[in-house]
Amino acid sequence: MFKKFGHFLRKRLLFVVFIGFILGVIVAFYSHKAVEATSTNQFCEVCHVHPHVFESWKLSPHYDTRSGIQVGCVECHLPPKGEGYMKEKIRLGIKDVYGFLFKDSADFNWEGKRTVEMAQHFTFQSSCVGCHTNLFPRNLSKEGMEAHLYYSMNEKDLLCLNCHIDVGHYDPNRVHSTNVNFGSGVAINQEVYTEPAVVSTHENFTETIPGSVVSFNMIAIPGGSFQMGSPDSEPMRSSDEGPVRTVNVSPFFMAEVEVTWNEFLVFYTQTAAEGRSTDTEGSRLSAEVDAITGPTPPYGQPDQNWGMGDRPAITMSYHAAETYCRWLSQVTGKTYRLPTEAEWEYAARGGTQTPYFFEGNPKDFTDGGFFRKRKTEIDNFVVYNANSLLRTQRPEKVDANPFGLKNMLGNAAEYVADWYAPDAYSMLQDGATDPKGPESGTERVVRGGYFRSDAANVRSAARDYTRTEAWLKSDPQMPKSIWWLSDCNYISFRVVCEFDDKTGN
Amino acid sequence: MSENNFSRRKFLTGAAAIGAVGAVGFNPLVSCSSGGGSATSGGSFKKLSDLAIPPLLDAAPDGKPLKAGVIGCGGRGTGAALNWLSAGPNVTITALGDVFQDRVNSCKARIKKDFNVDVPEENCFVGFDNYEKVIAADVDVVILCAPPVFRPDHFEAAVNARKHVFLEKPVAVDPTGIRKVMAASKIADGLGLKIVAGTQRRHQHEYIEIYKKVATGEIGEIISANAYWNQSKLWHRNPNADWSEMEYMIRDWVNWLWLSGDHIVEQHVHNIDVINWFTGTHPTKAVGFGSRHRRVTGDQYDNFSVDFVYDNGMHMHSMCRQINGCTNNVSEWIRGTKGQTNCANKIFDLQGNEIYAFQYPADAEGKPQRIDPYRQEHVDLITCIRQNIPVNEAEGIAISNMTAIMGRVSAYTGKEVTWDEMMNSDMKLGPTTYIMGDVGIMATATVPVPGEAPQG
């Protein structure tokens, strides 16, 4: 039987090849049709049920273009054909089908997906420049020319999305210009403090910022000794956290929470007037020469439109954080400053020597994906990538550590005063008292994880550092701001207040 | 940091790909830094066929008539106009513009005398807005020769009006102007305009022959360079009771920082450009000295000495001077791992023995047939327009111009100045608006003194 069929095939070889060819053409034709059919806006709309996606697209310049060409979903959300189109189509298709079948779209963090950090994973740079081949058309504005010139010199570090995140989906709250109204319209109608808090003993107190309605809690941190850094045996540690050193820390006060927008905006509105224009320079009275010059208006929206109030203030430069401390010292008559790295870790540990100030192994808290559920005990204490909705959260979301401090390990990262060196602890004397870190350096230490950190980076010993150049990469101003960071939306800081146990203040 | 370096090179490479003539395609520094400074890698050298070399015809080919307008009718503008008219058949000049009537008149007369070309009176424009009128006067090409502070605006307007450009150096006096030229250069690329810059060494046969040899590896990897423009005093004008402050400064422009960029920019940029051309990149930082000993008018220095440093640690020393009675030298020198060159016409081995000298072919009388490079620039421009050969030298000269500005700022301040600082600087020199009257610059102009006075 088979032999006969084989014989038939051999005899009619040409015929068989012809049939195969026809079948091949048909399959190719229909798979092409299928690819086309599954790439229409209408097809996307079937599953992408979140209504604002289509609403915001219809309000965007990609829907209503001057030339009448309408830019559809896949033209931005897939790479150009021949540059990984099919691969991404399959990857995103599987992801979308999985999401459609097993997830509730109401739980998706749509706002988070609209940030540059997220959007770049499903909005393709190659597609932007695939259509926008000439970045220097004749009618380009002066600002556009400067910006595109800068882009052409830094293509590797920049995305079109850095400046044009809202071209496909309109965002009414987005600001891409100098934001001179930032911080205005803060509610009044409350008691305005006239005096700072009076402190004579080493106990918790509430600081009141004179001339404002804002107060904040300072926690008395007892002096003591602790093991700084993490042992080799600690899971998910980095080598810059060792070797472990015994360090003594004198008593001090530390803010219960990261500097809030309420607090930072008092500084901004009280000092910024002088920074806003140079023409006040000449008219300043000699008595005011010591006045502190505060931030110039930010470019864009520093709070990322996540809200202000008691959320941590973010995106200020190290210089701005330091200037804030100088200003706060001046208006309160106390000595406020950034914590040293040793003070920070001592306070964060709150007397513990474990990876966190609560029980648990870092590996258990890492988001394990589909097959392994993370443990959620950490959610009471830490805002990090698994629970943050990819933005800062208000302090009330978490409980304090044993010292009474909140959000040391997560929410926003925090500047500390020390210069960063990967081998800082090797150079540190065992048993040192109040060490201040390396004498010089190029980047500052950053401590505490933030809303996008993995469980590994919200451990008490985890260290990070500033990226001076990268954090200003997309600032279009010339010169770049010394007050605000264009490319770091997770940095904040926390103040400490010095305590003199001899004088009691 | 290394990422930055990468993108900077990419920027330059982009310039090379776009500008066929004179743009740089050869980058020894890439392999120097990536290959750990290996002297023998040789991987960075280009094939002769990959080099961007101007057409270099003796005269431009014939074609449809090309009408040029001259913006800036002083000595160089008039010279460039004559070079243009001598470069080939069927080219003419139909519009002239300058801030001064006498300059327009003298240029018009000279063109008439030498080439019997009559520029119609209605196409002769005087005033700060002359460039807009020249550009609007139905010309195909504009010849930009006003003092450099005006060049960015002139170039931008010409490009936006889709004119081919002869772009005299320098192209700007400050970083704000440089960026405007760079952006306009990108627009010109998009429009397919032909731009030839007044860095004539890039159109000079003997320089180009040496460039070919260096680019293809004949002296090995480049390890150091020198650039010199030491000459006698240039020229100056004394104030005249009939002239306003603005008129006086413009007539004395090579002595005023805001008009010329100082002589390291105005004149020495030629030699710095040769080093940038041959190395295919530009320095990333500079520390310079400079001072003013004998300049008569204005607010500029009359000598500079600058140590330019490249990404890979290579140094270029640059010096320039405009003082009488000193040793003069206008030249370049490049040392490679296998040989060295004066860039202009000779190659030497490492011991200093001459191993190559460029010879022009002899004419019937046995004299070398040397072609004037100032004329060659225009021959190349017309050839590229008529044969549709891509050429855009604007970005190349802008980069060399910025290098010179970086050296100047370092000498003025006494501080190290980096390329990135310059590219991000908002420095803009001169008055914000141009009026022919008193502008209050001369009363307050000072010559920069670097550093700080000692205390006590």
Per-residue pLDDT averaged across A129-141, rounded?
Answer: 90
pLDDT at B220 over 70: yes
Instruction: Indicate whether A222 and A155 sit together in one domain.
Output: no
C-alpha closest to that of A306 among A174, A139, A418: A174
Give residue A324's Cα distance to chain centre: 21
At residue B210's C-alpha, the angle toward residues B209 and B215, to 5°, is 105
Q: Under an 8 A CB cutoff, do A156 and B7 touch?
A: yes
Q: Which two tokens stand for residue A283?
A: 């008219």
Task: Calculate the average pLDDT of chain A.
Answer: 88
Angstroms from A203 CA to nearest CA on chain B? 47
Q: Which two tokens stand for residue A72?
A: 């559809």
DSSP A147-184: HHHHHHHSTTT--THHHHTTSSS--TT---SB-TTTT-
Chosen from A139, A145, A443, A481 to mutate, greatest number of chain B CBs within 10 A:
A145
A137 interaction partners in chain B (CB closer than 8 Å): 187, 190
C-alpha closest to that of A316 among A281, A267, A283, A350: A267
Note whether residue A186 is domain-resident.
no
Q: How far apart are CA B125 and CA B96, in angstroms?
A: 6
Chosen from A149, A278, A442, A468 to mutate, greatest number of chain B CBs within 10 A:
A149
Note whether residue A229 is domain-resident.
yes
Lowest mean pLDDT among A87-91, B66-70, B366-370: B366-370
Residues A272-312 pLDDT 10s = 754 444 333 333 344 444 678 888 888 888 999 898 999 99
* A180-219 residues touching B, CB cutoff 8 A: none
Q: How far apart are CA B182 and CA B188, in angstroms?
A: 10
In contact, B154 and B146? CB cutoff 8 Å: yes
Farthest CA pair distance, chain A: 110
Instruction: Indicate whether A462 and A360 sit together in one domain.
Output: yes
Q: Output the CATH code of domain B1-52+147-456.
A: 3.30.360.10
State the DSSP code for A260. B
A474 interaction partners in chain B (CB closer than 8 Å): none
Note whether residue A244 is domain-resident.
yes
Instruction: Indicate whether A149 and A220 sit together in one domain.
Output: no
User: What is the residue range of A120's domain?
Assistant: 38-164
A155 touches B at CB < 8 Å: yes
Residue B40: what pLDDT?
38
Instruction: Indicate whether A143 and A212 sit together in one domain.
Output: no
A143 touches B at CB < 8 Å: no
Note whether residue A379 is domain-resident.
yes
Instruction: Indicate whether A221 and A112 sit together in one domain.
Output: no
Q: How far apart are CA A347 and CA A448, in angstroms?
A: 11
For A120-124, the CB contacts below 8 A with 24+ separation are: A120/A159, A120/A161, A122/A77, A122/A92, A123/A76, A123/A77, A123/A161, A123/A168, A124/A76, A124/A77, A124/A78, A124/A79, A124/A80, A124/A88
- Residue of chain B whose alpha carbon sits nearest to that of A477: B424
User: Partners of B417 in the beta sheet?
Assistant: B286
Instruction: Indicate whether A212 and A75 sit together in one domain.
Output: no
Lowest mean pLDDT among A92-101, A260-269, A453-462: A92-101
B10 interaction partners in chain A (CB closer than 8 Å): 155-156
Residue A287: what pLDDT?
43
Q: Under an 8 A CB cutoff, do B4 and A145 touch?
A: no
In contact, B8 and B27? CB cutoff 8 Å: no
Q: Under an 8 A CB cutoff, do B183 and A148 touch?
A: yes
B183 interaction partners in chain A (CB closer than 8 Å): 136, 140, 145-146, 148-149
Q: How far apart are CA A317 and CA A314, in angstroms?
A: 9
Angstroms from A278 CA to nearest CA on chain B? 15
State the DSSP code for B256. -
In contact, A443 and A465? CB cutoff 8 Å: yes
B189 touches A at CB < 8 Å: yes
Residue B357: what pLDDT?
96
Residue B396: what pLDDT?
96
User: Partners of B304 in the beta sheet?
Assistant: B290, B320
User: Partners of B357 in the beta sheet?
Assistant: B346
Q: Under an 8 A CB cutoff, do B7 and A146 touch?
A: no
Residue A178: what pLDDT?
81
Instruction: Indicate whether A211 and A138 sit together in one domain.
Output: no
pLDDT at A15 over 80: yes
pLDDT at A318 over 80: yes
| Strand (E) or helix (H) holding B224 | strand B222-231
Note whether residue A353 is domain-resident.
yes
Q: How far apart are CA B275 and CA B12, in angstroms?
A: 14
pLDDT at B239 over 60: yes
Residue B24: what pLDDT?
36
Residue A16: what pLDDT?
83
Query: Where residue A381 sits, what CATH number does that domain have?
Result: 3.90.1580.10
Q: Which two tokens stand for residue B168?
A: 């005299």
Residue A185: what pLDDT?
63
Chosen from A152, A474, A481 to mutate, greatest number of chain B CBs within 10 A:
A152
A138-149 CB burial, b ≥16 within 10 A, e <16: eebeeebbbbbb
B423 touches A at CB < 8 Å: yes
Q: Under an 8 A CB cutoff, do A138 and B8 touch?
A: no
Cis preceding linkage at A479, omega within 30: yes
- Residue of chain B whose alpha carbon sits nearest to that of A139: B160
B269-279 helix and B205-215 helix, angle to the nearest 10 degrees: 30
Give the Cβ contact number of residue B405 at 10 Å: 28
Per-residue pLDDT averaged across B196-218, rounded?
Answer: 96
Q: How far apart are CA A319 and CA A415, in angstroms?
A: 10
Q: How far apart are CA A419 and CA A445, in angstroms?
A: 6
Three-state DSSP class for residue B390: coil
B16-46 CB burial, b ≥16 within 10 A, e <16: bebbbbbbbbbbbbbbbbbbeeeeebeebbb
Q: Under an 8 A CB cutoff, do B183 and A149 touch?
A: yes
- Residue of chain B whose alpha carbon sits nearest to that of A475: B424
Q: How far apart are CA A334 and CA A499, in angstroms?
A: 9
In contact, B270 and B201? CB cutoff 8 Å: yes
Chosen from B6, B160, B187 to mutate, greatest number of chain A CBs within 10 A:
B187
Q: How far apart are CA A347 and CA A469, in angstroms?
A: 30
- Residue of chain B whose alpha carbon sits nearest to that of A152: B11
Residue A229: what pLDDT?
96
B183 touches A at CB < 8 Å: yes
Q: How far apart are CA B121 and CA A257, in angstroms?
A: 77
* A444-483 residues touching B, CB cutoff 8 A: 469, 478-480
Q: Strand (E) positions, A155-303?
A: 205-208, 215-221, 224-228, 245-249, 252-255
Q: Hey, what's the torsion of the CAs at A60, A65, A68, A74, to 10 degrees?
A: -60
Q: Under an 8 A CB cutoff, do B180 and A145 touch?
A: yes
At residue A501's C-alpha, the angle toward residues A499 and A505, to 5°, is 50
Instruction: Indicate whether A332 and A480 sit together in one domain.
Output: yes
Query: Where residue A139 sits, what CATH number does that domain have?
Result: 1.10.3820
A476 interaction partners in chain B (CB closer than 8 Å): none
Chosen from B13, B159, B182 to mutate, greatest number of chain A CBs within 10 A:
B182
Torsion angles phi and psi, residue B52, rounded to 5: -90, 105
In contact, A445 and A465? CB cutoff 8 Å: yes
Report the complex ipTM. Answer: 0.79
B425 interaction partners in chain A (CB closer than 8 Å): 478-479
C-alpha closest to that of A353 among A432, A263, A241: A241
Is beta strand A463-465 parallel, antiparallel or unpaired with respect to B91-98? unpaired
Farthest CA pair distance, chain B: 74
B17 touches A at CB < 8 Å: no
Number of domains in chain A: 2
Q: How far apart are CA A439 and CA A435, in angstroms?
A: 11
Amino acid at residue number B327: T
Model's pTM, two decimal places?
0.80
B152 interaction partners in chain A (CB closer than 8 Å): none
A390 touches B at CB < 8 Å: no
Give the Cβ contact number of residue B109 at 10 Å: 12
Q: Which two tokens stand for residue B394?
A: 């604007």
Q: Under an 8 A CB cutoff, do A152 and B14 touch?
A: yes
State the DSSP code for B393. -
Residue B25: what pLDDT?
36
Q: Which two tokens stand for residue B72?
A: 């800036």
Q: Under an 8 A CB cutoff, do A153 and B183 touch?
A: no
Residues B53-64 pLDDT 10s = 999 999 999 999
Lowest mean pLDDT among A5-19, A77-91, B421-435: A5-19
A156 touches B at CB < 8 Å: yes
Q: Under an 8 A CB cutoff, do B190 and A136 touch?
A: yes
Residues B333-369 pLDDT 10s = 999 999 999 999 999 999 999 999 999 888 888 888 8
In contact, B210 and B333? CB cutoff 8 Å: no
Q: How far apart are CA A46 and CA A100, in angstroms?
A: 11
Three-state DSSP class for residue B166: strand
B192 touches A at CB < 8 Å: no
Torsion angles phi and psi, residue A322, rounded to 5: -65, -40
Chosen from A140, A150, A154, A482 to mutate, greatest number of chain B CBs within 10 A:
A154
Angstroms from B190 CA to nearest CA on chain A? 7
Angstroms from A110 CA to nearest CA on chain B? 32
Q: Which of B1, B179, B425 sits opposite A146 (nearest CB)?
A: B179
pLDDT at B431 over 60: yes
Q: How far apart are CA A148 and CA B396, in angstroms?
A: 18
Tokens 């010095």 belong to which residue?
A: A498
Is beta strand B417-418 parallel, antiparallel or unpaired with respect to B285-291? antiparallel
Residues B172-192 pLDDT 10s = 999 999 999 999 999 999 999
Instruction: Indicate whether A127 and A233 sit together in one domain.
Output: no
Residue A181: what pLDDT?
79
B6 interaction partners in chain A (CB closer than 8 Å): 156
Q: How far apart are CA B263 and CA B229, in angstroms?
A: 9
Choose one of A133, A164, A195: the last residue of a domain: A164
Lowest mean pLDDT among A196-200, B10-14, B356-360, B379-383: B10-14
Give the count of Cβ contacts less than 8 A between chain A and B.
53
Residues A41-85 pLDDT 10s = 888 877 776 668 888 899 999 998 888 889 999 999 999 998 999
Note whether residue A18 is domain-resident.
no
Q: How far apart are CA B202 and CA B51, in angstroms?
A: 13
Q: Under an 8 A CB cutoff, do A155 and B182 touch?
A: no
